[in-house]
Structure 1
């Protein structure tokens, strides 16, 4: 006896509906069963809008296919697609993600007038002199004196941090936040970090030890340093 495998599974959550789509069937088979499933689960027009999350598993949809899927769900009353999630991405996207997550190691002194810009995290073994600038889409770690400008999270990452062995910057920038040179009583501070405090809506400079509580995801940086 042959039992047809269920292609579409619907589960209700506090946030709406989640549709789990079998990734071994054809796209047309998926649409056909989804039409049947949604038609048999009629939603009253008087009920509030229901958000739908679609889990594709190991299936990738081209833009045209994704639009067909969205159109099918839009046709059903009170349903709106919140997200379409897949375990698969294009090679170009994977390479872009790899570049953004890599650690770029530079061993030099960044002198006045020089600008160094990288994608991903920047580990600088050397100083950033006054008048110099370093920019990274991720975090910035300076194993030396930071006396120039440092801009972390350049593409809008507010979770990025700036760490320096000797913190005396002319300016710190994280995402769209800017902090001018701090007014220290002493000649700079050793082993501190700059990060965004969203409650205060500004960049704060704190002890390096707070990073384990404020940015626990930075443990990934340590793993990448150890594993290469």
Structure 2
């Protein structure tokens, strides 16, 4: 007689329970076994609700399946879903992530009163004149003079950076941080970058080469700019 394969693995942690659901079986089979195990492991009514993290592996929940899990694991049976984690994402989410990580190249001069706004990283080959503004959800690289406003990480990314061949902005913004114009004027000998320094809790301007130390996750494109 063969043992039935276990579809649900329960692991206790300090934060609660982690449920590992086999990603090769049908959802109905996994759901049935999960219901049985929750009944067998249900806490006493006087005990507080137990947080539950669900690990789906290479399984993507179809419409209605997540709701079924939420209905099964709830405060009434002394369990509470903390998070549902999957290694698989929808095509729309993947396309959105690609767009956010894409480098948009624009060749133009941003004149006074003009606003250039992009999703992802921005590579501007041109100048930002006084009164001009560039906004990006990612990093901003300007192969020219920055005299206007630059806002990187507009969606809240505090790791975003702003780099320019000639850094003399009227204002720098990264996520929810705002910096006024620097007290000095760049001599244009080397590229500079603006980034958030967590220790000083403000935007600082430094040589572009500091990105290799300050931002360990910079990609190959940024490294090529940094290393010339």
- Give the direction of change, closer, same or farther, for the CA distance of 1:132–1:188 in structure 2 (3 Å limit): farther
- 2:179 is matched with 179
Distance 1:167 1:219 in 2: 22
Residue by residue over 1:93-136, the C-alpha shift from the partner in whole angstroms, topping out at 9 and shown as x without a partner, is 11111111111112222222221111000111222111111111
Distance 1:181 1:188 in 2: 15
How many residues were matched structurally? 224
- 1:26 is matched with 26
Q: How many Å apart are 1:76 and its aligned residue?
A: 6.0
- 1:109 is matched with 109
8 Å contact kept, 2:124–2:141? yes
- 2:218 is matched with 218
8 Å contact kept, 2:166–2:186? no
Residue by residue over 1:154-210, the C-alpha shift from the partner in whole angstroms, topping out at 9 and shown as x without a partner, is 1111111111121100111111211111221x4566422111233433222223222
SS in 1 for 2:36: helix
Distance 1:123 1:87 in 2: 31
- TM-score of the superposition, structure 1-length normalised? 0.87
- TM-score of the superposition, structure 2-length normalised? 0.87
- 2:194 is matched with 194
Aligned-residue CA RMSD (Å): 2.3
Residue by residue over 1:44-67, the C-alpha shift from the partner in whole angstroms, topping out at 9 and shown as x without a partner, is 345454322111112211352112
Query: 1:38 aligned to 2:38?
Result: yes
Structure 1 runs of 4+ off > 6 angstroms?
none
* Range 81-90 or range 44-53, more displaced: 44-53
* Range 75-84 or range 54-63, more displaced: 75-84
Distance 1:122 1:149 in 2: 14
Q: Give unmatched runs, 5+ long, in structure 1.
A: none
Distance 2:221 2:120 in 1: 11
SS in 2 for 1:100: helix
Query: 1:16 aligned to 2:16?
Result: yes
Q: How many Å apart are 1:43 and its aligned residue?
A: 2.2
- Give the direction of change, closer, same or farther, for the CA distance of 1:98–1:163 in structure 2 (3 Å limit): same
SS in 1 for 2:191: strand
